[in-house]
Amino acid sequence: MTIKQPFSSQIEKSDEIDLGKLFGSLIDAKWLIVISTAISLVGGVAFALISTPIYKADALIQIEEKSSGGISSMLGDMGEVFSKESSSTTEVEIIKSRMILGDTVDKFNLTTIVSPGYFPIIGKGIARLRGDNNSIQIDRFQVPEKYNNDKHSIRTLSESTGVYALVRDDVIVSEGRVGELLVVDGGYKIFVSELHAREGFDFYVDTISRFEAIEKLKGFLSVFEQGKKTGILKLSYEGEDSKKVEEILNSVVQNYFLQNVKRNSAEAENSLVFLQGHLPGVKNKLTEYEDVLNNFRQENESIDLGLEAQSTLKVMVGLEAQLNDLTFKESEISQRFTKDHPAYKSLLDKRETLLKEKERLNKQVQKLPKTQREVLRMTRDVEVNQQIYIQLLNKVQELSIIKAGTIGNVRILDYAQIYTKPVKPKKLIIVLMASVIGFMLSVIYVLIRVTLHKGVESPEQIEQIGLAVYAAVPKSDLQMELTNRFKSKRRLSEGTQALLAESNPADLSIEALRGLRTSLHFAMLEAKNNILMISGPAPGIGKSFISTNFAAVAAKTGQKVLLIDADMRKGYLQQSFGLKWDNGLSDLLSNKCEFSQSIKSTPVKNLEVITRGQVPPNPSELLMHPRFAELIEWASKEYDLVIVDTPPVLAVTDPSIVGAFAGTTLMVARFGQNTIKEIEIARNRFEQSGIEVKGVIFNAIEKKASSSYGYGYYNYAYSSDKK
């Protein structure tokens, strides 16, 4: 027997994590973990097999640097502002725009969604494994607006002839033929170009808006730059139909290429229109200036300019040419930027510098004779306008050539190519991930269960609250079989006993009860009587098992033992001995029978039993009847040991009543089920009634890796060999 420790109502709590216990718990739950992992593995294999293969195609596009020409070349030094390359991010967004993807949606009629009529989730995968190849191609599916929310399907009537039926809400609307436009009164227009399916097979058809189709296409389209600042974009697209995936991606690539060419051609066209609009005015002004100069020379008899005047004229003409050039640049740059833009400010600063230089030259010209000044001014006007006119003519010719030969700055390096094998699902990864997830979930479940579970798993935990552990009873597999028979309500026939102490006296549990018999012999020497009450905190902890088998063990020593079933609500001690419950304790206390009539003999020598009797409406009041005190007094004299089995103390008050007559009180606690808090509250409940609990019988101990307490010393047992 364990030495009783000083009472302490406070249990020391530790925040430390017992890794050994957690690891042991995983070992104890090894079969749960193995089964969970195996189920997840099988599920992963099944999912990998029935999942629809997803194919992928990719293409490469190069964004080249724009060639000099058009407005950029015309702007000269400022051309760098306009020849700046668009970033790859910009081009990616252009490719994903509705302008590009919309044409592909229209071309492949992606607003029509077709799904084969397979069983949900797994039907498509099973059909693929069986080799069923049901497919349809619908190029046009127009539904009247009033039927948009109805369920439509195309049902195969004959695959060989290509005849199908349009079905709305399981009602055939009309019949059509593959390759022919089906027009139905009310607004239906359907064109099926291909149909391969067995007779009676349905294809469910639904329509979405063009915007939704574009967004859906965008979701499966991936565009990114390969490498950093390479200007090479990689496009990839995924889908179930490998042929259609390749065609859709090629369409997107081609649409982007064509819009790029069109955009560059439009730039040259806009520049050409601008220049052609200014050309007639410049020509008229040139003619006017030439006429004025010729008339002046004729009137003044062909005055020639001196060397100084000719040098000044050359500089002034150059300045005027630059100023006119800046005028053209400003007209173009004003369409792109505000005056606060750095490029616009640079242009204005350059103009200001040229105007100052022009003003300086004008002051220098004022020093020349009047006639030479006039000739200089007129000659300057003629030469400046002549240069402008020639420049414009050259640009018009240049832009005409650019417009005719525009090829864009996009080059298709690789057209769409489908991958040989599906990219999804990755079967090996799925199987491995499923196994890992199953393993992890089972481990997490076990750890959470261990963390939340506060059941007692060692006698030391009980001793910490000041209660001695009188016996540690291992769990008996044979007793569990008998208990399951009781729970399944397959009652034993009369006269058939189910007592472990009789059916298997060498069981480890019975050996532990023999130790309890020895411990109690000395503990009861100081007790006021030979009445032993066995109770517990809660039901289902094995009180009846302890009571019946301990009574049998005590009786085999020659002691005359009486076992009383004081649980008049749910007692079933009679089942262990193959007896009936009538003429029991409740009948005795109700004066329906005498002491001698209520006592029943058992197959165990020296052991007699008082069963619970008929279930009364007031068990607690019956126990407080004087006849119960008389029974206890009489039994104490007639028997060497009286064992009273009572209901749980936390459920009813019966144990507190019975305990007042008992000289010794023991509580039963079940391994892994009762908590320390339960045991302490039960002990306090008895103490409030003036009953001292001698100790605890620790029942149904299991040998677990998570528990530091085992019962290896019980391995010594009787040998079945006889010599």
What HEC string does 414-442 produce?
EEEEECCCCCECCHHHHHHHHHHHHHHHH
pLDDT tens, position by position, 593-650: 888 889 999 989 999 999 999 998 888 999 998 999 999 999 999 999 999 999 999 9
State the pLDDT at residue 495. 43
Segment 479-494, tens digit of pLDDT: 777 666 655 554 444 4
Residues 111-163 have pLDDT tens digits of 999 999 988 888 888 888 888 888 999 999 999 888 888 899 999 999 889 99
When pLDDT is cut at 50, 70 and 90, the band that residue 405 belongs to is low
Q: For 265-269, 318-322, 468-472, which range has the lowest pLDDT when averaged over its residues?
A: 265-269
pLDDT category at 37 given cuts 50, 70, 90 is very high
Distance CA 305, CA 310 (A): 6
- Confidence grade of residue 23 (pLDDT, cut at 50, 70, 90): confident
Percent of the chain's residues with pLDDT above 70 = 80
Q: Where are the domains of the chain?
A: 19-51+425-452, 112-207, 265-412, 534-703
pLDDT-derived band at 369, boundaries 50, 70, 90: low
Residue 291 pLDDT > 70, yes or no? yes
Which stretch of 30-39, 181-190, 474-483, 544-553 has the lowest confidence by average pLDDT?
474-483
pLDDT of residue 720: 37
pLDDT for 7 equals 42
Provide the CATH topology of domain 534-703: Rossmann fold (3.40.50)
**150: alpha, beta or left, given left = phi > 0 and alpha = psi -120 to 50?**
beta
Specify whether the CB–CB gap between 545 and 577 falls below 8 A. Answer: no
Tell me what pLDDT residue 608 has.
Answer: 94
Prior bond of 603 cis (ω within 30°):
no
Mind giving me the DSSP string for 456-471?
--SHHHHHTTT-EEEE
Q: Report pLDDT digits (tens) over 490-543.
A: 444 444 456 888 888 888 889 999 999 888 888 788 889 999 999 999 998 989
Summarised one tens digit per residue, pLDDT across range 204-229 is 999 999 999 999 999 999 999 988 88
pLDDT at residue 578, as a whole number: 82
pTM of the model: 0.56
Q: What is the mean pLDDT of residues 560-571?
A: 92
Q: What is the pLDDT of residue 717?
A: 40
Higher per-residue pLDDT: 236 or 403: 236
CA distance 456 to 363: 112
Q: Is 14 exposed, middle or buried (0-12, 13-18, 19+ CB in 10 A)?
A: exposed
One-character DSSP codes across 607-668: EEEE---SPPS-HHHHHTSHHHHHHHHHHHHH-SEEEEE---TTT-SHHHHHHTT-SEEEEE
Q: Give the phi and the psi of residue 561 in degrees, each rounded to 5.
A: -120, 140
